[in-house]
Amino acid sequence: MGTVPSALKHCLSYQHLLKEQPWIGEPVPPPQPGQESQTSGLPEYIKIVEVGPRDGLQNEKVIVPTDIKIELINRLSKTGLSAIEVTSFVSSKWVPQMADHKEVMRGIERHPGVRYPVLTPNLQGFHNAIAAGATEVSVFGAASESFSKMNINCSIEESIEKFEEVVKSARNMNIPVRGYVSCALGCPYEGNILPAKVAEVSKRLYSMGCYEISLGDTIGVGTPGSMKRMLEAVMKEIPLSAIAVHCHDTYGQALANILTAIQVLLQCMSEGAVFLADLNLSRSCQNSLMKQALHSLSDWLYASSSLAWSEGKSPVSWILTQVQDITSQPVSVVMH
Amino acid sequence: MGTVPSALKHCLSYQHLLKEQPWIGEPVPPPQPGQESQTSGLPEYIKIVEVGPRDGLQNEKVIVPTDIKIELINRLSKTGLSAIEVTSFVSSKWVPQMADHKEVMRGIERHPGVRYPVLTPNLQGFHNAIAAGATEVSVFGAASESFSKMNINCSIEESIEKFEEVVKSARNMNIPVRGYVSCALGCPYEGNILPAKVAEVSKRLYSMGCYEISLGDTIGVGTPGSMKRMLEAVMKEIPLSAIAVHCHDTYGQALANILTAIQMGVAVVDSSVAGLGGCPYAKGATGNVATEDVIYMLNGLGINTGVNLYRVMEAGNFICTALNKKTNSKVAQASFNTGTIN
């Protein structure tokens, strides 16, 4: 754009200026009362679920040493994140990258206010996880029969039965369970996936006792259009507060899809049924630029969990106040 | 997500399936009457202005030979794009990458229904462009005084005066002029830019006769919030139909920013094939948003662009091979990695 050379000489001064620029690190301050709200229709708070140590490292070619994994998780624990997915209690025969699940689980620092869920595909994995000190687990369903068979060697129905065992044991021990639905926006084998199917699997997982359902665009093919259609179907079956999105950036669509998800879920708020706006964003930290990108997105979203805690209020009561201020309507809170 | 190994074995079948999947190439058909419109509030048609050959190549380290540039533009002309920015008539002392502007302008095929704008920073550049056969030109303003002084060595006001000369001559010859406003969402020198300033410069360019104003996030620092605030200010001063957005992907925000803009009714989007063109202000960072990634998103929304994604990917593959570099388009990476296109 325009001529470049003299501007190039200023690369250094730009880097210097960058440190002083407000667009890295600090969220934009909320609008003053009376000012037109530029974030009308957006949640005040968004929970980010960090899946890098598990979903991220599991899919890297290099097997990362245990001490590096532990150090990564410890560093993430100090960022203000409230949920960090630590590891996966699957057989090391299938997922060698997660073979050190016990050591990682036992080796990490447990920071107050941070949850450390782990994957448990079946009852045995669940028991191993609990023995290693896990206090929250996740189960992985799929909206595609082919993907379910190819990935975990059983049909959706069979996998649901296995998860029911896990959830039943977990509930007996007061262990929260998070449910994932893979291929929510497309399957590498079947292609397009019907939103109704995603909704059906989500409902099964939620009904059995999963407190939250993370809808995964496993191969990253989703766009704002398909995200909207899928969420509209799922929202008919499970509460808003239980919905999370897990977007892959394979086609560069992730941020646009996340933005759409936030808008769609909030639109439902404005139509009368008011829920606690607790939208969870999961993302892989494979791409370090994505990490920065998500920081920039938080500038717009006013992600402010640390703010709530620094003011000495509990996040729930703080969020409740914000939502009531925005909507002037009674708010029903789903606690978890 | 879940166990991986068995899925990996099926990469090959996935590549095969990719050809049959509707998410590459074909736009989603519009909703049937009675169905809830998934694109409620969005434009039915979005014009893509391809800036790869100019903004893209201008910011690449390698100087591309003239015949390669011409071949790239010719390939882009066959994709369905309706506007392709060809080159820049600036002094080769300042922008050596565009030194062959005359040869490129004269060498390209001119396809019916495709416009071939060129940059003309001043009257001399304008005359050179016309002599070389240009039929549309662009002028580049900025919303930041510092950027204007650093980049083109004059204040915003002085630059506007130069553009007025260009626009006046252009209008006499019935040559359309497009106006750009750089630093619309942030400046590498001044930091935040007031939306009102962007609106003011846009209004000046539009009033003098530019038919379209492209608002550029020059350093890619914008987010949906700042995009919305800026567009709200600009929309008070110039018609919606005259607004285009030119988003850089330096911070990965481009598609989210473009989505925000089109939700507000903007129907013209600039992009660069293969995401050509780095950001000169942030070493190692990406610059222009990739045309392929934009089309992919718009196809998924059921918005018509008239552009064939496959052909754009092929053009992108051509230029990246010539530049010996990896594409910046995620869509192209996802497709080429699966071996769909050779």
Please state the ipTM of this predicted complex.
Answer: 0.85
A16-20, A196-200, B10-14, B121-125: which is most confident: A196-200
Can you tell me whether residue B54 is helix, strand or coil? Answer: helix
Structure tokens at B106: 């004269």
* pLDDT higher at A266 or A292: A266
Beta-carbon contacts of B35 under 8 Å, excluding residues fewer than 6 positions away, are none
Residue B302 CA to residue B39 CA, distance in Å, equals 7
pLDDT bin (cut points 50, 70, 90) of residue A134 is very high
User: Would you state the pLDDT for residue A152?
Assistant: 86
- Asked if B279 is an active-site residue, the reply is yes
Per-residue confidence (pLDDT) for residue B133, from 0 to 100: 97
pLDDT on residue A13: 41
Instruction: Say if residue B64's pLDDT is above 60.
Output: yes
Q: Which of residues 213-272 of B touch A (CB under 8 A)?
A: 216, 218-219, 221, 223-226, 228-229, 246, 251-253, 255-256, 258-260
User: Smallest CA–CA separation between B47 and chain A, in Å?
Assistant: 19
Question: What is the identity of the amino acid at B323?
Answer: L
pLDDT at B3: 39
- Best B3, B230, B329 member to test A by mutation, with max A CBs in 10 Å, is B3
Q: Which chain A residues contact residue B178 at CB under 8 A?
A: none
The answer to whether B139 and B120 have CB atoms below 8 angstroms apart is yes
Q: Which of B183, B187, B279, B320 is catalytic?
A: B279
Q: Is B341 or A82 the better-scoring residue by pLDDT?
A: A82
Q: Is B192 in Cβ contact with A152 (below 8 Å)?
A: no
Chain B residue numbers with beta carbons less than 8 Å from the beta carbon of A229 are: 38
Q: In what order do the strands lie in the sheet with B47-50?
A: B83-84, B47-50, B268-271, B243-247, B212-217, B177-182, B137-142, B118-119
Burial class of residue B74, CB neighbours in 10 A (0-12, 13-18, 19+)? middle
Residues 6+ away with beta carbon under 8 Å from B202:
B179, B181, B213, B215, B234, B237, B238, B243
Question: What is the structure's pLDDT at B301?
Answer: 95
Confidence of residue B86 (pLDDT cuts 50, 70, 90): very high
pLDDT mean across residues, chain B? 88
C-alpha neighbours within 13 Å on the C-beta side of residue B177: 29
Residue A317, pLDDT above cutoff 80: no
Of A58, A140, A150, the CB nearest to B10: A150
- pTM for this prediction: 0.81
Report the length, in residues, of chain A: 336
Question: Is the pLDDT assigned to residue A290 strictly greater than 90?
Answer: no
Q: What average pLDDT score do residues A3-17 get? A: 40
Q: Given a cut of 50, is residue B6 above it in pLDDT?
A: no
Mean local confidence (pLDDT), A76-87? 96
Indicate whether A27 pLDDT > 60: no
Distance from CA of A102 to the nearest CA of B (A): 17
pLDDT at A25: 52
- Confidence band, pLDDT 50/70/90 cuts, at residue A265: confident
CA-based nearest distance B208→chain A, Å: 19
Confidence tier at B35 by pLDDT (50, 70, 90):
very low
Least CB-CB distance to B296: which of A2, A140, A251? A251
Q: Which residues of A touch B2 (CB under 8 A)?
A: 119, 121, 140, 142, 151-152, 180, 182
The mean pLDDT value for A198-205 works out to 98
| pLDDT greater than 80 at residue A280 | no
Q: How far is A111 from chain B (nearest CA, A)?
A: 25
A192 CB neighbour count, 10 Å cutoff: 15
Report the residue of chain B nearest A93, measured CA to CA. Answer: B5
The predicted pLDDT at position A288 comes to: 39
Counts for chain A of helices (H) and strands (E), in that order? 14, 8
pLDDT on residue A47: 92
Task: State residue B13's pLDDT score.
Answer: 35
Q: Is A143 on the interface with B (CB under 8 A)?
A: no
At B198-231, the pLDDT tens digits run 999 999 999 999 999 999 999 999 999 999 999 9
Cα B144 to Cα B4: distance, rounded to the nearest angstrom: 50
Q: Cβ B191–A22 below 8 Å, yes or no?
A: yes
pLDDT-derived band of residue B153, with 50, 70 and 90 as boundaries? Answer: confident
pLDDT for the residue numbered A308: 30
What is the pLDDT averaged over residues A6-15? 40
**Region class of A118: left (phi > 0), else alpha (psi between -120 and 50), else beta:** beta
The answer, yes or no, to whether residue B129 has pLDDT greater than 80, is: yes
Contact with chain A for residue B59, Cβ under 8 A:
yes
| Ramachandran class of A89: left when φ > 0, alpha when ψ lies in -120 to 50, beta otherwise | beta
CA distance B164 to chain A (A): 17
Residue B29, pLDDT score: 55
Across the interface, whether the CB atoms of A253 and B255 are under 8 A apart is answered: yes
**A217-235: average pLDDT:** 96
Q: Is residue A19 predicted with pLDDT exceeding 60?
A: no
Nearest to B331 by CA among B303, B305, B312: B312
What is the pLDDT averaged over residues B163-176?
A: 96
Predicted confidence at residue A104, as pLDDT, reads: 97
The sign one gets for the Cα dihedral B9, B15, B17, B22 is positive
Query: B 296-335 residues with CB below 8 A of A?
Result: 296-297, 299-302, 329-331, 334
Q: Which residue has the tokens 């957006």?
A: A42
**B283 vs A249, more confident:** A249
Cβ of A224 and B21 within 8 Å? Answer: no
Task: Check if the beta carbon of residue A160 is closer than 8 Å to that of residue A170.
Answer: no
Q: Quick one: pLDDT band at residue A151, thresholds 50, 70, 90?
A: confident
CA of B167 vs chain A CAs: smallest distance (Å): 17
What is the overall mean pLDDT for chain A? 77
Confidence of residue A271 (pLDDT cuts 50, 70, 90): very low
Question: Which residue among B6, B38, B188 places its CB closest to the CB of A151?
Answer: B6
Q: What is the pLDDT of residue B194?
A: 97
The per-residue pLDDT for A266 is 76
The lowest-confidence range among A122-126, B149-153, B244-248 is B149-153
Asked if A220 and A242 count as a contact pair (C-beta separation under 8 A), the reply is no
The answer to whether residue A111 scores a pLDDT higher than 60 is yes
Query: Could you tell me if A140 and A152 are in contact, meaning their C-beta atoms sit under 8 angstroms apart?
Result: yes
Three-state secondary structure readout of B272-307: EHHHCCCCCCCCCCCCECEHHHHHHHHHHCCCECCC
Closest CA to B254 of B228, B309, B293: B293
Greater confidence (B202 vs A309) lies with: B202
Q: Which residues from A are below 8 Å from B38, CB to CB? A: 225, 228-229
